[in-house]
Chains A and B, each alone.
Chain A
């Protein structure tokens, strides 16, 4: 079945450093969503990307969708302790209605 890989699996950064997680698929994606899950919590929607090469920003977060629509990235500038959690991409392919979640990247921010 479709697999969506994310790297890195874990990332520890000092507060103020930048962070990037990458989401990769072997198949062309219809669209991709990003979610954040805090420890002990449930995933919370962050953004959706639909167009090839699309870039969206939310304050310190920048999301990109690859030109070939097979990969995506989430970049956080100047991390804060509130950024701690696991970031998941969730992707769907054309003709399907379900989202497959990536393997996730767990971010730890050291104060």
Chain B
């Protein structure tokens, strides 16, 4: 149980375009999902907390107008990278938990390459 599906797994886009990444909890409801960014051989950096039915909470230094998060239902959160630039190229990974202090269940991640 507790499977998180993330799509797409890889995407290449041109500079200036927008990319949407979906994160779904397949067999549980997640009122809260988390979006992380990971650079090669580095740790996971928390970008924002996605809250169902309300605005996302962004970490310091993360541009909320650039990284749009929508948590429209209890099983789906989306991250849209707007007007992407090459420096946005990274591995984006979402996670969700069933509640409280339960473990984080991660999606397989999305490798974004902006050319």
By a beta-carbon cutoff of 8 Å, the part of chain A in contact with chain B is 1, 30-31, 33, 35, 41-45, 48, 50, 88, 90, 92, 97-104, 106
Contact = CB atoms under 8 A, between A and B. Distances in A.
B101 A43 contact: no
A58 B32 CA distance: 29
Given A1-B60, A42-B106, A42-B107, A101 B43 contact: yes
B115 to A, nearest CB: 22
Contact of B104 (A99, A103, A104): A99
A86 B93 CA distance: 16
Contacts of B43: 88, 101-104
Nearest to B93: A42
Contact of B103 (A30, A33, A98, A104): A33
Contacts of B95: 43
B23 to A, nearest CB: 12
Interface string B43-81: 111100100000000011000000000000000000000
Interface of B: 32, 34, 36, 41-46, 49, 59-60, 93, 95, 101, 103-109
A100 B46 contact: yes
A98 B62 CA distance: 16
A106 B36 CA distance: 19
Nearest to A50: B101
A99 B106 CA distance: 13
Given A35-B104, A42-B109, A90-B104, 8 more contacts: A33-B103, A42-B107, A42-B108, A43-B93, A45-B104, A98-B34, A99-B46, A104-B43
